[in-house]
Structures are given as C-alpha cells and as structure tokens.
Structure 1
Amino acid sequence: PTPRLDWDPATGPRRAAEPDAADPAGAALSLLAEDAAELLTGPDGEQLAACAAQGCSRWFLRSHAARRWCTTKCGNRVRAARAYANRKK
C-alpha cells in the first residue's frame, strides 16, 4: 500500500493507504506523503508553525516558543523593515 495523508475537518490529519502507483512520480509522492503524515500526526506536529514574515510561505519546526521566522534571513528582513518604517515617521 502507498501511504497517503487524509484531512478530516473534525479530527485533523490522519494516515491512510491506497494501492501502489505504477509510476516513479507516484512512488516519490507517496514517500513525501508518508513523511508529511508522520510529521503532522506525530509528537512534532504541535511544533509546526508558519513563518511570520510577510511574503514568506515557508513552514518550520519551532525550536523554542519565541521563534517566529523560518530563517534568520526572514527575521532580519522583518526587523529591517520595521526600523526603516520607524525612521520614516
């Protein structure tokens, strides 16, 4: 069986299985789905957060509660924009 991630609005993410795909792309996608299902349904799922930087669509695992950005580059960009806005006032 090929692992798959199903989303139920009432219960959230859950692992599901379907017959193996005959193509390599399907096999690769099934591995990605398996890893995603393991992450979202496992103990690290609660640590998953979206980057707070405007225009960034990345997700990351929080290493501590205060972390808001996926990389220091995103954090620096937000702080620089805030400083620039404050100087323009």
Structure 2
Amino acid sequence: MIPGTVYKIKIEMGVTSILFHKKHKIRLELASSSFPGYIRNLNTGEPFASGTRMEIARQTVYHSSKYPSRLIIPVIPGSRYDSARHPKP
C-alpha cells in the first residue's frame, strides 16, 4: 500500500453471535497484527519467519461524506431469549 492513499477494504468477520441487552455498547478495534494469536506481521514485506526489520503500522479509518465507512451487523429480530439461563448483567 502507498502511504496517503485511501483504499476501500472489506473485512469479513466470519460466523459469531452475541446477545446485546438494551443500552449495551460495542466497540470496533482494528489492528495490523494479533501476535501471538496469529503469525507476526513485520509490516515490511519481509518473510514472516526470517525477517528481522520491523515497522510500526498505522491504520486510518476515514469517515466522511467523501470516504464513508460502515459496520454492518446482522440482527435476528424477535429471537427467543431464555432469561433464566442468561440473566441480564
């Protein structure tokens, strides 16, 4: 990628689920690495296993009328909820 250039990126989240109660909040965090959960990312293009030089990566999420951003979260309306098995916090 070229610094200063805006790229459109689509990130697939995979299958997951969670129950949100009224007034719950969520936060989206983006990172260029999740070591040691995944293989390290040197951010240099060097081979992952043998690379020695590391660079700090910076991500910018643009959110304007020119560069709109969005997070799409599927909702299952009217799903049944067992409050005895899953009490509210």
Calculate the TM-score normalised by the size of structure 1. Answer: 0.19
Pick 1 or 2: higher relative contact order, CA cutoff 8 A, min separation 6. 1
Calculate the TM-score normalised by the size of structure 2. Answer: 0.19
Higher percent of residues as strand: 1
Higher percent of residues as helix: 1
